[in-house]
Amino acid sequence: MFAQFALHERLLKAVAELNFTEPTPVQQAAIPPALEGRDLRVTAQTGSGKTAAFVLPLLNRLMGDALPRVTIRALILLPTRELAQQTLKEVERFSQFTFIKSGMITGGEDFKVQAAMLRKVPDILIGTPGRLLEHLNAGTLKLNDVEVLILDEADRMLDMGFSEDVQRLGKECANRQQTMLFSATSGGNGLREMVASVLREPVHLKLNSVSELNEGTRQQIITADHNYHKERLVEWLLANETYQKAIIFTNTRVQADRLWGKLVAAEHKVYVLHGEKDQKDRKLAIDRIKQGGAKVLVATDVAARGLDVDGMDLVINFDMPRSGDDYVHRIGRTGRAGGEGLAISLITHSDWSLMSSIERYLKQRFERRNIKDLKGIYQGPKNLKASGKPVGPKKKKVDKKDAKKPGAKAAAPKRKPTARPNNAPSAVVSQDGLAPLKRKKPAAE
């Protein structure tokens, strides 16, 4: 029950209006210390309800001593435009029965229009670091009366190279009374430095050790021989899985475009998001997916940051993400706020060791799955130990005398050549030995 928190009744009314009945674990843990005015450091995944965990205490504070609107009283920093838009929406929904006004500043929008908005002085300003700094430098933004500073997805802001910008904006909010920092992962040294420099004696709330992530999401792998095989697996999955919306991750723009082309040719309604798409294309893609006009999105990690689309219940890793944290971020798009989700990673021989290191990092073993119609040659390394680690060939004892000879080595075991290089061009794949793709068949695996 939200009534357990000492929140203003107009906020409780908004919460009820939104049909939030039970607080999520992060809200349960963060709202009380936030209401006391403590600094917070919270590790919680996207989709855990963390936005309300900081927005409600923030609004409560601003309502407590409503001042005439002459200064910006709170700053919320986020890594991407989409996340800023979503957060603005959330703030507006919670503040609908109050007089609190919010504004948003991100790149890709008209600077003068933004400057005009800033002249009206919103109580809460939400934005991405780069453009905020431009306004600061142009003299169109003043932050010295900010009381509360919130850094959301701080780990992502660091990954995206915003460290210095965030530090500078933090310094501009020199008179703040409270700072809250949220990140999806526990981050590395960079995050620790940021925590030390912006927070004062924070309460540290760790809501998700990575091993507990996404309980509602099944995680599977399917082995593949090469990229063309992966493309056929994607088509099969899109045609045969039950899902509301799917997101397919690739590691490169080129692969994203290529897969998008293939899926369009196969008559899927699909959009692609990557760093080279301009703001208009991004908006169109996200709107269509949100409204349900299309249900498949192909994206790179950077392009998908901060994306929050309801009903995204299938994630396919066409390429394996480069780190465990990236995996957590990708998979965090499914099973949001308790929903069910399915995450499938497509694994060639060159993805295997990365995949198993992510399994170790997450302390999870992904379910192995085969699709009968599209079973390839590669099935994972042979001779797996119980641990899942491949057993290497036994080292031949080298005669000490031989070992001293320059260039002497133990006889290298003969390796079978792989069926096809991972990035085999499509021109050669018609002879790949895979059965023709059957679509719309009941899931026969």
Binding residues for ligand AMP (CB under 6 A): 20, 22-24, 27, 46-52, 308, 336-337
Question: Do residues 213 and 362 lie in contact, with contact meaning Cβ atoms separated by under 8 Å?
Answer: yes
Separation CA 283–CA 281 (nearest Å): 5
* Rounded least distance, CB 284 to ligand AMP, Å: 22
DSSP E strands in 312-426: the ranges are 312-317, 341-347, 367-369
Task: Decide whether 46 or 102 has the Cβ nearer to ligand AMP.
Answer: 46
- Please, what's the b/e burial string for 215-227 (b: 16 or more CB within 10 A of its CB; e: otherwise)? eebebebbbbbbb
* Rounded least distance, CB 392 to ligand AMP, Å: 43
* Rounded least distance, CB 27 to ligand AMP, Å: 6
Task: Decide whether 51 or 255 has the Cβ nearer to ligand AMP.
Answer: 51
- Interhelix angle 352-362/324-331, nearest 10 degrees: 80
Q: What Å distances lie between residue 283 and 112, 346, 415, CA to CA?
A: 21, 28, 49
The single-letter code of the amino acid at 418 is T
* Rounded least distance, CB 83 to ligand AMP, Å: 9
Task: Decide whether 150 or 346 has the Cβ nearer to ligand AMP.
Answer: 150
Separation CA 384–CA 427 (nearest Å): 34
> What pairs with residue 125 in β-bridges?
75, 103
Separation CA 209–CA 186 (nearest Å): 8
Question: Nearest to residue 296, comparing CAs of 276, 311, 280?
Answer: 311
* Rounded least distance, CB 290 to ligand AMP, Å: 12
Task: Decide whether 18 or 428 has the Cβ nearer to ligand AMP.
Answer: 18
Task: Decide whether 259 or 289 has the Cβ nearer to ligand AMP.
Answer: 289
Q: What Å distances lie between residue 230 and 294, 374, 382, 429, CA to CA?
A: 22, 10, 21, 12
Task: Decide whether 91 or 303 has the Cβ nearer to ligand AMP.
Answer: 91
* Rounded least distance, CB 118 to ligand AMP, Å: 26
* Rounded least distance, CB 181 to ligand AMP, Å: 15
Question: Do residues 102 and 95 lie in contact, with contact meaning Cβ atoms separated by under 8 Å?
Answer: yes
